[in-house]
């Protein structure tokens, strides 16, 4: 039986941090849509060239392209025992596409959808204070989880960066988009009986304790 985890939650809810921990604990690959698209683009694969074409025009990468990228990744050997999906599905349409992929791959899935629940005002504060390492990708918060040396990555010793969209205005717009497109997935997976909710407004170790219980660790 293949274990599939779907992480749901608005930007800045902390699911990326928890994905890394769970991935190591269960030895399951982290399947991140954004990273997969960037990898295909940088390697100039056929699907990457198609995706780049849409991005160059300022358009969203269409579902059929994203689905192909996801399907190709789930076909790899390290996904046979399970995987953690982050960033897909983000809508009911994408959830339907995921069902189709699983059916086409003939996978017997034990699926768990995990929702990281957190108030919007807390998320805005998190995003505005979020910094990341351009080299290793490690995430910091200048108020709650600051690096040992100001604005320097603890591991790589390079200057941290702030994403251009980590502003209050952009954050609120992203949450509005999330509520409209992604929030309906909670009802979708609740009806299937696979949704678990975590209180993400607490320290990382406490969020992990809840997730570990859900994952049976």
Give pLDDT tens digits for 75-113.
999 999 999 998 899 899 999 999 999 999 988 889 999
**Active-site residue flag, 131:** no
Please tell me which residue in 3, 90, 138, 152 is annotated as part of the active site. Answer: 90
Summarised one tens digit per residue, pLDDT across range 17-64 is 899 999 999 999 999 888 888 889 989 999 889 988 888 887 778 899
Domain 2-29+76-215 has CATH 3.40.50.300: yes
Please tell me which residue in 38, 80, 143, 163 is annotated as part of the active site. Answer: 163
**Active-site residue flag, 130:** yes
Summarised one tens digit per residue, pLDDT across range 106-139 is 888 899 999 999 888 888 888 888 898 988 888 8
**Active-site residue flag, 38:** no
Closest CA to 23 of 3, 37, 39, 9: 3
Residues in the chain: 217
Buried b (16+ CB within 10 A) or exposed e, 84-117: bbbbbbbbeebbebbeebbeeeebebebbbbbbe
**Active-site residue flag, 168:** no
Summarised one tens digit per residue, pLDDT across range 150-183 is 999 999 999 999 877 677 777 788 788 788 888 8
- The number of beta carbons lying within 10 Å of the beta carbon of residue 1 is 9
Token duo for residue 217 = 């660790």
Residue holding tokens 């040992």? 148
Averaged pLDDT, 189-216:
95
**Active-site residue flag, 15:** yes
Token duo for residue 116 = 């990281």
Give the pTM.
Answer: 0.80
């Amino acid at each position: 039986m293949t274990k599939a985890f779907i992480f749901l939650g608005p930007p800045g809810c902390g699911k990326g941090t928890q994905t890394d921990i769970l991935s190591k604990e269960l030895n399951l690959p982290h399947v991140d849509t954004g990273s997969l698209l960037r990898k295909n683009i940088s390697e100039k694969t056929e699907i990457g060239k198609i995706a780049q074409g849409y991005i160059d025009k300022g358009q969203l990468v269409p579902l059929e392209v994203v689905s192909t990228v996801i399907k190709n990744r789930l076909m790899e050997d390290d996904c046979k025992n399970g995987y953690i999906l982050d960033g897909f599905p983000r809508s009911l349409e994408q959830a339907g596409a995921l069902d189709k992929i699983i059916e086409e791959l003939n996978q017997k899935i034990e699926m768990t959808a995990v929702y990281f629940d957190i108030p919007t005002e807390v998320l805005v504060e998190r995003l505005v204070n979020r910094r990341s390492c351009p080299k290793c990708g490690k995430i910091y918060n200048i108020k709650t989880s600051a690096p040992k040396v100001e604005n320097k990555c603890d591991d790589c010793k390079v200057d941290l960066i702030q994403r251009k969209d980590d502003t209050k205005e952009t954050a609120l717009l992203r949450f509005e988009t999330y509520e409209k497109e992604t929030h309906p997935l909670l009802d979708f997976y609740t009806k299937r009986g696979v949704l678990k909710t975590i209180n993400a407004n607490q320290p990382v170790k406490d969020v992990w304790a809840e997730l570990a219980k859900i994952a049976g660790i």
